[in-house]
């Protein structure tokens, strides 16, 4: 590691009921990435932060996020209090802000989300922005379903999306 380059990001791996997760926070302890894992995905997440000179594994820095996620998976937390710092286009950021407004235990369709953004024709773009969400669970893209209530697309797979919605009581 190059000592002249400050460690800008901290990361850690941890277990959850549907497998492992990787999380990355910035120097202000705001979450920038959270993903359900495969080994290949972990390598991809870490490589997305450049050559690694800005990364440091630091369980202590991620302890608040780990605790809140553990509380969520145990059914004791409905709202996260971790600062978030996702990177994306203006449209993606607007979709991700709208995701935060979907209450725990409820769902919205892609069309409803597009309508809420004042862009009813953009439901496919909403789906694309959901797929690019760097902070699943924290920005609850799992709460977005098809207009008929069916489960569509989730980066971690439909089984994980179903698990999260059942955990929240949104589906049986």
**Catalytically active residues, by annotation:** 141
Q: Is 55 helix (H, G, I), strand (E, B) or coil?
A: strand
Q: How far apart are CA 68 and CA 6, in angstroms?
A: 27
- The CA-to-CA distance between both ends of the chain, in Å, stands at 49
Backbone angles phi, psi at 115, to 5 degrees: -60, -45
C-alpha 146, offset from chain centre: 19
């Amino acid at each position: 590691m190059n000592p002249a380059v400050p460690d800008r990001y901290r990361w850690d791996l941890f277990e959850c009921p549907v497998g492992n997760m990787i999380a990355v926070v910035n120097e202000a302890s705001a979450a920038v990435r959270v993903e359900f894992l495969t080994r290949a995905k972990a390598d991809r997440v870490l490589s997305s932060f450049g050559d690694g000179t800005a990364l440091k594994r630091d369980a202590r820095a991620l302890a608040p996020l780990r605790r809140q996620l553990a509380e969520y998976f145990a059914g004791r937390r409905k709202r996260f209090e971790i600062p978030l710092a996702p990177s994306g286009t203006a449209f993606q950021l607007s979709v991700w802000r709208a995701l935060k407004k979907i209450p725990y235990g409820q769902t919205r369709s892609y069309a409803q989300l597009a309508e809420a953004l004042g862009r009813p024709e953009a439901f496919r773009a909403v789906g694309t922005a959901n797929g690019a969400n760097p902070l699943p669970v924290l920005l609850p893209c799992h709460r977005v379903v098809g207009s008929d209530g069916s489960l569509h697309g989730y980066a971690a797979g439909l089984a994980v999306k179903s698990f999260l919605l059942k955990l929240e009581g949104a589906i049986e």
